[in-house]
Chains A and B, each alone.
Chain A
């Protein structure tokens, strides 16, 4: 098929001296929207900065660390996650109605969105590429133990795996098990052990002293 190739050299990352087709298209569309008065460039800067530098998994880690140290907060979080998370200041888009799932020795919860990429933005930020991509969305529901193994987590058969497919406007956050050896640590130090992956359910919280 000699003519099956595209005319241009594609640069998937759009960071070379030559912009990719999609980069050019986005640039032209943005100019069009700004010129028509539909989009304020200052709002674009605000949105990108907010989700690139301000909102991320450190928020969720604070929720988890508080639950590990305060039993009444944990009870509230499991009963009314939306209110308990809002009390720490984490509210808004893609986290309007929250559910928290507690991992124990008996039950391991793992969250996916097979139909798109629903993810709790206020507590975890924007999802990583793998969460949005086909392999995870396809396999998390049919082979969760295989997925976990790929992330380095081998669960005993005595642990039940519960997969939560986010098909509605509920957003799920996993409350990972508090790691051994973290007794007596304060909330801030504990938050440092809470990985993003442990709050999706594809990982465990870090052990104290373990490389992160």
Chain B
């Protein structure tokens, strides 16, 4: 979706301004927002693409006006209700009114350590590729209203396949429970001039990871 999260190339946000001390968390509530998001995610009722989409769906004004962990909190609240782990009435009142759905139980620390250590690779068994390294491609000019990982600033632009990463889950379908649709994912090189015009430095480039379904041959 063309949401408030798709920021590449925007102007007006000002300097980057790194903090001097850079604490991992800036308040006690951030620790808890981080912890409950990971812990609820470990229940396996949604995938990483679903959770990204739940954050992207925020009204752009709200998205840009809130902090990172507020985006996480918004996404978590949305998914807990949408996936039936928490009732809409419970979320409204922030009060437990009934037990968890049958067969769903909190992940204890020993198992959580294993979940983190194992991770969840999105790489899948090899399959034929539509494109090969060095090939010229165009990023499709598409504007899906659902989740997509093709940023606005490359749509309709010509690039070159730089690396074939192999076969990966396709987030654009996986976010919406429409299957993993495994396909090749590539690092596609776009020249800075192709993306930003003649004032961009010659030779500089931006690499974007895109899938078969995002690309057409030139």
Which A positions have Cβ atoms within 8 angstroms of B?
A: 12-15, 19-20, 22-23, 25-40, 42-48, 50-52, 91-97, 99, 114-117, 125-126, 128-130, 132-142, 144-145, 147, 150-151, 157, 160-170
Distance (whole angstroms) from the CB of A93 to the closest CB of chain B: 4
Q: Is B61 an interface residue (CB 8 A)?
A: no
**B206 and A165 within 8 A (CB):** yes
Please measure, in the bound complex, the distance between the C-alpha atom of A165 and the C-alpha atom of B154, giving whole angstroms.
11
Please measure, in the bound complex, the distance between the C-alpha atom of A51 and the C-alpha atom of B74, giving whole angstroms.
21
**A162 and B29 within 8 A (CB):** no
| Contacts known (A35-B96, A141-B195); A170 close to B209, Cβ less than 8 A | yes
Please measure, in the bound complex, the distance between the C-alpha atom of A134 and the C-alpha atom of B192, giving whole angstroms.
20
A128 and chain B: residue at smallest CB distance: B22
Q: B137-152 vs A: 1/0 string, CB under 8 Å? A: 0000000000001110
Chain B residues within an 8 Å CB radius of A94: 119
**B68 and A51 within 8 A (CB):** no
Known interface pairs A26-B36, A37-B106, A48-B34; 12 further A-B residue pairs with C-beta atoms within 8 A, sorted by A's residue number: A13-B27, A48-B32, A115-B6, A132-B68, A134-B7, A136-B16, A139-B13, A141-B8, A165-B209, A169-B169, A170-B187, A170-B209
Would you mind naming 25 contact pairs between A and B with Cβ atoms under 8 Å apart?
A: A26-B33, A31-B94, A31-B96, A33-B36, A33-B80, A36-B90, A36-B100, A37-B100, A38-B43, A38-B100, A39-B36, A48-B35, A52-B24, A96-B123, A97-B123, A114-B151, A130-B18, A135-B13, A138-B7, A139-B16, A141-B153, A142-B153, A164-B187, A169-B122, A169-B123
Q: Is B130 an interface residue (CB 8 A)?
A: no
Distance (whole angstroms) from the CB of B47 to the closest CB of chain A: 11
Which B positions have Cβ atoms within 8 angstroms of A?
A: 5-11, 13-19, 22, 24-36, 38-40, 42-43, 48, 52, 55-56, 64, 68, 70, 73, 76-77, 80, 85-86, 90, 94-96, 98-100, 104-109, 112-113, 115-123, 149-151, 153, 163, 165, 168-169, 171, 185, 187, 189, 192, 195-196, 201, 203-211
Chain A residues within an 8 Å CB radius of B112: 40, 43, 46-47
Please measure, in the bound complex, the distance between the C-alpha atom of A97 and the C-alpha atom of B7, giving whole angstroms.
24
Please measure, in the bound complex, the distance between the C-alpha atom of A132 and the C-alpha atom of B141, giving whole angstroms.
27
Please measure, in the bound complex, the distance between the C-alpha atom of A161 and the C-alpha atom of B16, giving whole angstroms.
19
Chain A residues within an 8 Å CB radius of B90: 32, 36
Chain B residues within an 8 Å CB radius of A35: 96
